Amino acid sequence: MPSMARNCLVVNLDRCIGCYSCELACKMENGVALGHHWNKLYQVEPYGQFPDVKTWWLSKQCQQCTDAPCINVCPTGASYRDEEDGVVLVNEEACIGCQLCMDACPYGVRDYNDELGVVQKCNLCKDLRAEGEKPACVKNCPGKARFFGDLDDPESDASKALAEADPESIHQLPDNGNGPLTCYILSPKFGEWRYEDLVVTVNKEDKYVTTEGSLDF
């Protein structure tokens, strides 16, 4: 049996200008309500001493974990991995809104829809991909900073972006055994990967987020 695809996003933070187009494109494509997010852009606040001051933006969405905690804790099987493309999804018809998956996610990237009473999240624009298109955040990024594809396919956009990057400039959010797939490219010229500055405590657990100062939609 062939191995399951490892589809995910690769985000080149060297090219990200913090315009929030990815966040807005996600909202428009998926009908995400004001104040709710499937993809959220955070500004890592300016740091350093003048004139050597830097800042960068972190795009945070489902990290497509290899051993996804959200799937492991879901009591109904609503959180699952698509057998065809390997993407972590939510079956809203099976979701009972218990939010156990939200507590289990180490990155805080799941969203509870109050009106529907279900948990939702980035599905890498499953409907668009079914039509042969790229996820909305990818195709609407004016800086061409976002790439989608199978990490096991050397010809995918995601794999090519990583192959062109300095290995020391490739980063991932902290791995607690869940194996996040999403990769970020940030070279020293543009910023320092300061993940320790991006952790806050939520419900007595560390969640990977950011410092204050980001816009909200």
Distance separating alpha carbons of residues 142 and 100, to the nearest angstrom:
36
Domains detected in the chain: 7-64+123-208 (3.30.70.20)
pLDDT, residue 142, reads 97
pLDDT, residue 123, reads 97
Distance separating alpha carbons of residues 120 and 91, to the nearest angstrom:
9
Distance separating alpha carbons of residues 164 and 162, to the nearest angstrom:
5
Residue with tokens 């933006």: 57
β 7-12/183-185 pair status: parallel
Please provide residue 23's backbone torsions phi and psi, each rounded to the nearest 5 degrees. Answer: -65, -45
Q: How many DSSP H helices and E strands does the chain contain?
A: 6, 12
CB atoms within 10 A of CB 41: 25
pLDDT, residue 208, reads 46
pLDDT, residue 149, reads 97
* Burial of 215 per CB tally in 10 Å (0-12, 13-18, 19+): exposed
Residues of the chain with pLDDT under 70: 1-2, 195-217
Beta bridge partners of 119: 112
pLDDT, residue 184, reads 97
pLDDT, residue 199, reads 55
pLDDT, residue 71, reads 98
pLDDT, residue 150, reads 97
